[in-house]
Amino acid sequence: MAERYIGLMSGTSLDGVDAVLVRFDEAGTLAVEADAFVPFADALRDAVLALQPVGGNELARAAMLANTLSRHYAEAVAAVLDRAGVPSSAVTAVGCHGQTVRHAPQDGYTLQIVNGALLAERCGIDVGCDFRSRDIAAGGQGAPLVPAFHHECFAHPSVARAIVNIGGIANLTRLTPGQTVTGFDSGPGNMLMDAWCRRHTGRPYDANGAWAASGSVDAALFARFAAEPYFAAPLPKSTGRDLFDLAWLDAHLAHHPHAAPADVQATLLELTATSIADAVRQHAPATRELYLCGGGALNGALVRRLATLLPEATVGDTALLGLPVHQVEAAAFAWLARRLVHRLSGNLPAVTGAAGNRVLGALYPR
């Protein structure tokens, strides 16, 4: 029978919570019935960032932050239900990604902050969360998890496609007919550009890439960025703010103290575009259709640069395939929640490197 799930996603861009209400028919085909967005205040964003490096009193700070975030998640659930005119009793479960504050698969853990019990209490709906830990327990990276969802929703039987989610980090999914689905984090998406824009303009992001377009790429600085070993690392691999943060950027800029801020922004955009294009050419060379999602899909300068770097592929966004760019990741966690409820695997071992297929997530009953 048909079921409804809510997916919640707050990513590395730290702008807020995306919520979608998804209806799955008996065959498992999904349709988004409503979406909502609850922004993060600067104080909440700063609290998340403060937990990224090692610091004092981490246990109490993390627990309190989990409670604060969970109240925001509950607000997003209420907003999307109100928008759809659907009661909470009509929803089977909520799938919540939580907020990543540490990602260290090499050390056997990843940490997404959320209080699943509090969220279930606030919403009156079963809650699934902690989707990444089981994959890591099985020897995987725990990320990215969205390629399985991309394959379910976007694969074509005869056309080689790639899906690139450009959030704080960019990740690529290869959907080439007759080949195993692969996916990985290609490197920074919006994260460094947003941080640099906030530092120098006070704005949370560079709307449409206009500030980057006003500058010029600094070739020497770009070469220093591009020499980061992560880009040449073999698959499987995943990354996050643990590597690509302002400290990483400042360490490189120390060698280029006179670089103009707009030129740095242009160079960061070039890094995102080039690392994505290189990932496509190396790992998905047959790609003829490239579909973008996430906030970076709305950066016109970045999209145009990708189209220039990948002339053999048609570059569009996932709205052309039925899911607007801001809905894709949240919908993926609604899909993962359904997989959890039905005890179906949610990972792709070829993507994460896990020892096998695993049911992902922990379920908190309402």
Residue 11 annotated as part of some ligand binding site: yes
**284-303 pLDDT per residue, tens:** 999 999 999 999 999 999 99
pLDDT at 53 > cutoff 90? no
**77-86 pLDDT per residue, tens:** 999 999 999 9
Residues in the chain: 366
Residue 12 annotated as part of some ligand binding site: yes
pLDDT at 1 > cutoff 90? no
Packed helices 300-309 and 261-283: angle between N→C axes, nearest 10 degrees: 40
pLDDT at 100 > cutoff 90? yes
pLDDT of residue 52: 87
Residue 13 annotated as part of some ligand binding site: yes
Between CA 59 and CA 70, with CA 65 as vertex, the angle to 5 degrees is 130
Average pLDDT, the chain: 97
In the structure encoding, which two tokens stand for residue 349, read together?
Answer: 């071992």
Packed helices 246-253 and 219-226: angle between N→C axes, nearest 10 degrees: 130
Work out the average pLDDT over 197-203: 96
Separation of alpha carbons 10 and 19, rounded Å: 9
Nearest-CA neighbor of 251 among 204, 168, 192? 192
Identify whether the C-beta of residue 21 lies closer than 8 Å to the C-beta of residue 86.
yes
pLDDT of residue 19: 98
Contacts of 248 by beta carbon, 8 Å cutoff, 6+ apart? 192, 228
pLDDT at 13 > cutoff 90? no
Task: Find the helix or strand (DSSP H, E) in which 91 lies.
Answer: none
Nearest-CA neighbor of 96 among 68, 135, 69? 69
Among the listed ranges 26-30, 158-162, 207-211, 314-318, which one has the minimum average pLDDT value? 26-30
Separation of alpha carbons 92 and 366, rounded Å: 10
**324-349 pLDDT per residue, tens:** 999 999 999 999 999 999 999 999 99
Task: Find the helix or strand (DSSP H, E) in which 75 lies.
Answer: helix 58-84
Residues of CATH 3.30.420.40 domain(s) within the chain? 3-142+329-364, 145-321
Unique residue bearing structure tokens 């209420």: 78
Total-model pTM: 0.96
Contacts of 108 by beta carbon, 8 Å cutoff, 6+ apart? 136
Q: Is 181 helix (H, G, I), strand (E, B) or coil?
A: coil
**120-167 pLDDT per residue, tens:** 999 999 999 999 999 999 999 999 999 999 999 999 999 999 999 999
Contacts of 162 by beta carbon, 8 Å cutoff, 6+ apart? 172, 173, 174, 175, 280, 284, 287, 289, 290, 291, 313
Residue 16 annotated as part of some ligand binding site: yes
Protein fold of 3-142+329-364 = Nucleotidyltransferase; domain 5 (3.30.420)
In the structure encoding, which two tokens stand for residue 333, read together?
Answer: 């966690």
In 6-57, which residue ranges form alpha helices assigned H by DSSP? 42-51
CATH number of 145-321: 3.30.420.40, 1.20.1530.20, 3.40.120.10, 3.60.15.10? Answer: 3.30.420.40
In the structure encoding, which two tokens stand for residue 350, read together?
Answer: 């070829």
Q: Is 63 helix (H, G, I), strand (E, B) or coil?
A: helix
Identify whether the C-beta of residue 8 lies closer than 8 Å to the C-beta of residue 73.
yes
pLDDT at 11 > cutoff 90? no
Separation of alpha carbons 360 and 162, rounded Å: 24
**160-197 pLDDT per residue, tens:** 999 999 999 999 999 999 999 999 999 999 999 999 99
Residue 42 annotated as part of some ligand binding site: no
**220-263 pLDDT per residue, tens:** 999 999 999 999 999 999 999 999 999 999 999 999 999 999 99
In the sheet that holds 30-39, the strands lie side by side as: 30-39, 16-24, 3-9, 93-96, 126-129, 362-364
Question: Percentage helix, strand, coil, to 5, in the chain?
Answer: 45, 20, 35
